Each structure stands twice: as C-alpha cells, then as structure tokens.
Structure 1
Amino acid sequence: MTDLNNNLTSNQPVKKLDSDGVFHSWSAQGSLDPLVIKSGSGCRLWDYEGREYLDFSSQLVNTNIGHQHPKVVSAIRAQLEELSTVAPAHANYARGLAAEKILARAPEGFHKVFFTNGGADANENAIRMARTITGRDKVLSSYRSYHGGTGSAIVATGDFRRVPNEYARAHVHFFTPYLYRSDFWAQNEEEESARALQHLRRVIEAEGPGSIAAILLETIPGTAGILTPPKGYLEGVRALADEFGIVLIFDEVMAGFGRTGKWLALDHFDVTPDLISFAKGVNSGYVPAGGVIISERISRYFDENMFFGGLTYSGHPLGMAAICGTLDAMEEEDIVGNAARIGSEVLAPGLKQIAEQHEVVGEVRGVGVFQAIELVEDRESRQPLNAKSMGQAKASMVESGLLPFVVANRIHVVPPCIVSVEEAKKGLSIISDVLGSIRR
C-alpha cells in the first residue's frame, strides 16, 4: 500500500503496518496494542471502522486548538504552496511573523525568539544560553518534572525516565511544592511554600551558588501531576535566582498557549523569568515547532557573542505558518477565554462533585483545561491506586469512547481548549461512571 488516500474500512492493516515497522517511544515493543486513529475534527477522533472517541488527552496535551482547525490547515496549505522549506539563515516572512505574534503574548522585556523543532530542544537551547551567559555549568530542576527526551532535557527531568539516561553533566534536582504529598511536613500552602523555598536555598548554598547557571521549572508541572505552585513560591524562586545571579527558565511547553486559561501559565503569577521555553500548544503540534522566548538582557549579550547552537529546521516555514494560524484563530475565536470558562464553570465543579461521589479520589486540582484527578487506595493513607486498577480504568474509558491521559495514579483532564460545555460534561460523566466501577 503506497496511497495515503486509501479506502480502508478496517483497523487491522494499519495495526499490521505499525507492528511490522514502527518503533514506539517509552515502550517495550512486544506487548504494544496501539489505538488506531484515522481522522479527527475538533475534540473528536475516529478510527477506520467508524468508532468515535472524545479526545480528553489533547494527544500529548498539545492539540490546544483541536483537530483539523480550518484556519490552521489553510495557513499551512498556503505556505506549502508558496515555499515548503528554507534554511534558518535566511529571512522568511512566516518566521518573522510567528516571532512577532509570540512576543506579543510574552511578558514585557522579552526581545527575540529562537525557534526549535519541539519542547525538548527548546529546553536544551535555553540551558545552553544560560550556561553561556553565566559561565557556569550546573542546572537545578525539580524531581517532579518532565523537560523532554533529549540529552540535557531528559537529565533535567526528574521522573523515572531520567535514571537510564543520565549522560549529561552538571544536573541537580530538588523538591518543589506538592501539599497533598508534602515532602516538608507542611499543613497548609503557606508552610509548603516557605519550606520548599528554604529547601531550595539550602540546595543552592550546598551546590555552590557560583557554579549554578540556571533554575529550570515548569511553571505548572504537567506530566508530574498538574501541580499549581502555592502563592509566593515562584516569586520566591525568582528572588533566589536574583540573589545568586542564576538564570531562571520557565518551561511552558505543556502549560502554555491557552492550556491554563491564560496565554501563558506564568500570567497567573507575578513573576517574570529570563527565558521561556515553549512548543505543543503554540501550533497544536500540526507541524513540529518549539522555541525559546529570550529576555532583552540575554538577547543583547548575543549581539556581540557567538551563540553556539542551531538546527536545520529552526523556524521551518510550515511550522511557522501553523503558529500564525493557531495564534490568530485563538485570538479571533476567544479560545483562551473558552479554556478559562470551561475550567472554572464546568471542569472544576464537575471534578469536585466526582471527588465527593467516589472514595477512590484523593484529590482534584488544576486550572483551565489543565486539571487532574489523583486516585488512591484509601483516603487516609493516600496510597496511590495500584497499576492494575489504573489500567482497567483507562481501558474502560477508551471502551466508553473517551481518550484519556493517564499518568501513574492520575487521570489528567486535558481536553482541547475549544472543548464545549456538552463535551466537557460528557467526558466527566464517563470518568465518573468508570470510577464508580472500581473495586478496591
């Protein structure tokens, strides 16, 4: 089969092609049974046999504008017909326009955008900039984090995937706030924030402030559990970075561009970092793209100093067209506002009701269309729900026509930012029914 415009009516040929030739991420290959997807529109996906799924995962929390948005598809098509690729050394209208539109959503004082292929190499290059401008080596990041699968990004990551991949140098991890499972014996958010900041200060002091180039944090950690930092924490991190001359990098790859009901997650806080990494929602992954938004201070340094970094596809015109189409559509259709309204008026109260109804729910949390349900064996011990029950819950949701995002003992409630009230309620109803069937 060579024709992509096929007339398949069965999923099996696609599964066979996949099993015969595709090597999957983060997986033991022999036991895989991937879900087959043929097409999509908005918040819906279909397989080759006509089965419909409500996408409550946004794939990997990236299709913020939904599937096949006509304005984004049209922008990509128009660019494809004019110029499909161009070297990054040249000036290109789509690239410059994408940078202009991104900078318009950044905090005051940001000056340039360095484009990458995705979020991992955005973080790689943010780290490279921080090391260059400070002349220091170490990078501090959280144990509860995910920053990408490439060399430094995976070692900056805190979760278990870091351990087999620790080849990059000079990475140090610390604990960030998570009141539900506090590492600081805190009883409230004020204690959690203060003690987490004291812990970070001690790590900086113990590692040697003069050796630390950067603190890299997801503004709101995503894969780690959608952990909104308590009041004062990010402000305190900014103060520590200033005190010790450390570059502060906010990773907005998952949380940025509408996901939290703001253009950037950092807009919820009174904090401005030095560098912002982004990807995913900036063009909903229609064409791979990411980048680093650079503050003027750091940008000006590289006016006279060489930046030793680059990518063949930096600012690829198709990716840039997708960014322009996405950001225009999000503004014109108030998609960011929709994410905020759905989050506050449907998801948050709906999740609170689910928590009240099901003893298996330990905590619900989040903002916008970036929310999570943490499942436990029992509420007193807070022991995470076992892997078998989580697997069964995920399978039941898929069988009921919901495509979930399940991580460890959590269901992340992360539909596209365009999700309707009816779709959001339907997704919550399926989740509630499935949780009601769990027998501990």
Structure 2
Amino acid sequence: MSYRLVRRLNSSCVRCVSSSLSRTTEKARHPGSKTNFTHEIQFLNPQELPAIPTFRVLDNHGNIKTEEAPKISDDDLVEIYKKMSLLSKMDKILLQSQRQGRISFYMTCSGEEAAVIGSAAALKDVDTVFTQYREVGVYLWRGFTLQDVMHQCFSTHKDNTKGRQMPIHYSAKKLNIQCVSSTLGTQVPNAVGYAYSNKIKGIEAVTVTYFGEGAASEGDVHAAMNMAAVLKCPTLFICRNNGYAISTTTADQYAGDGIAVRAIGYGMRCLRVDGNDLFAVHRAVFEARALAIENSCPVLIELMTYRVGHHSTSDDSSAYRSIDEVNYWNKEDSPVGRLGLYLMKHKLWDSEREQAYAKECRKDIMGAFNLAESSLKPSPYLVFDDVYDTHSTQLARQRSSLEEHLKSYGEHYNLNEYDV
C-alpha cells in the first residue's frame, strides 16, 4: 500500500513553512514545541504561503489525468454510477414532494454524489459512520433501501426511528451507521470517542465522521480534532467543503486556506481532494483508511465540491448566489455527468442503458414513495417506549390516561391513519 498522497502533502507543508523562516542554530527545549531558536524576527504571513493542492484523477471531460490507473473494477464502477444516479433522481422527487406539502422537510445531495458515495465505497462494513445530514448516499451504498428512505421521510409505522425524527434524519444500526442529528458538529466528538473505544478494544477499523465546512466552525469539531490527534484515534474526518454554510459563503466563514490546513495545526495528516471526482475521492479515502489503521492516527480529508441544491427546503439559494453559478456546476462539473462520460468512453455505459435505467429508477422510487405515503403512521403509544429500560409507574399511569382519552375522544384524531 502506498501513502504517497498524504506523505507528499505533509512534506510539502513542512518545506513551505521551513523555507519561510531564517536559518537557526540552536534547538529550543520548551515542552510542546518542535522548533529551533532564531535571531531574526519574522511574522509568518499565510497569504505568502502556497495553498494546499487538490488531488485529482478525472477531469471534467471524463479523462484520467494520472499515470496510475484507478483501482476500481468495472462492475463496481457501474454500480457506483448507478447509486449516484439513483440518489440524484430520488432527491428531485422528494424535493418536489416537499414543495407539494406531502413531506415536511428535505435536503438534497445534488452536486455532492461523488463525495458521499465515492467515500462510502472505499470503506468497509466494520467501519462505523457518523454522518451529518447530507450523506444518505452512505446509507444507500451500505444497503439502506429506497423503501427505508421513504418510510423515514413520511414517518410511517415502518420507519425505524419510529416517527420521532424529522425527514432525512436516518438511522441504521444494522448497517453500522449512527443516527443523524440536526445539531451541527455534535457527531464529530462522538466519532472520536467511538474510535478511541475501538482502539482500546483492539478492533481493526476506522470511525468515519462527515461534516460540512460550515460545521467545521463549531467548537465541537475543533475539540474533536485535537482529541483525536493527541489520543491517536483511528478517525477519518471527511469534510464536504461545498462552498456554502446555509447562506454564508466560505469567504464569510474563514480567512485561511480552507479546512485541510487546520489539521496541520492539530498535528494530523490531511489531504485536499476534488470532491466531484469519483476516482480521487475513492482513492483518497481508501488510502487514508489504511494509513489510519496502520498508524493508529486520525486523517482529515477535505472534499472540494459544490452544493447545487438549496441548503434545505427551508432555504432559497437564489437570494445569495446567481443562477449562472449554479448552472456551471450543474452542467460543467457534475460528478454524475463526469463519471458517466468516463464510463461511456470506456464502453461500460451507453445512452440506451442510461434511458432504461432512468425509467427503472423512477419506477422504483415512485413505488416506494406511494407505498410509504399510503402507510399508517406510528402508534401514539410509542411515545412511552424507550424512555426507560422498563416502564415506570408514572409512565404506566400516563399510558392508561391516554387510552381512556382516546376511547372517549378518538373520533377527533383520525385514529384510522395510525397503527394503533
């Protein structure tokens, strides 16, 4: 296994800083420092240091730009493309359904399909994942079905979160994916703690946590990265830098060189990657995983991508960005389109298969959609479950009170719509 990507980046960063300082003659011995004394005063100006490069394999026209061929089988490539395409089509339908008032909320992954599914495909099932809220592609890749997605978004009685979560707040314990939380950044220290637990137990796996560049401003993320570096936890920090934290551009979020550079300050290895390039994402995560396990260390990967859709159905992105900007990323630098071009050039896909698969996707999506929309809602009595390990006397009294109330006034609650 070669780790040239990460090593080359780390060594280049060291050379950048070293070359900007004057020659020194005596090593400092202060605790917590790895520096030498200098007799000249020189303030480091980050604007004068070169930016961290962005690793890329596939260009916008579907051409491989590296000498080393991608290490993904043709069958896997087609399967990845199909999952990316399915995700894109599912997003469009569920977005429209929210606009029609059929579900209450939704977030799309438009423009970030390669970042999410490409990274998921490079992991192993033993790796525990802590997502933010734009990573349903990870769920789909690991076996979460369209029906699972629809039951959750419609909060039916078959929703495995029992109708207690907002739409898109998925959970899949059987797939080794933790439940989505709305609160920004809270999943990141949780992931580090989980990785530390695995390290103590001797489990050979990484813990993966996804977050956006906006969430990277949260204190939880900074504390988590420091903890992971100090405790040497095998954690993969995957940041989707999509350009916007809701309506705030990156220019209004930070003045430094993105998110990857922060890892250096915490003593972590890092890599910046073209997040719209499936091959680059897959290889970066694959090698970072091996690096983290072999050295029992954290690695930060910054995926440079673009959020084509609105932040959520509560957002109107036309208020803070132009349609021309969105159109460029949607047409000229689409991760699904870029991979599709590669597959067609290598005779792994064609327009006929594309049309047939589009019809298949719509049929499957609408089938799952219609079933979930017509399903019963969860039982109101579930509100008493999972509060304590066993029902307390107080909960038992409250449940009895609800039963009596519904017996008397049930006709006012449309109980026929619930799994009572």
Q: TM-score, normalised by structure 2?
A: 0.31
**Whose radius of gyration is greater, 1 or 2?**
2
TM-score (norm 1): 0.30
The structure carrying a bigger helix percent of its residues is: 2
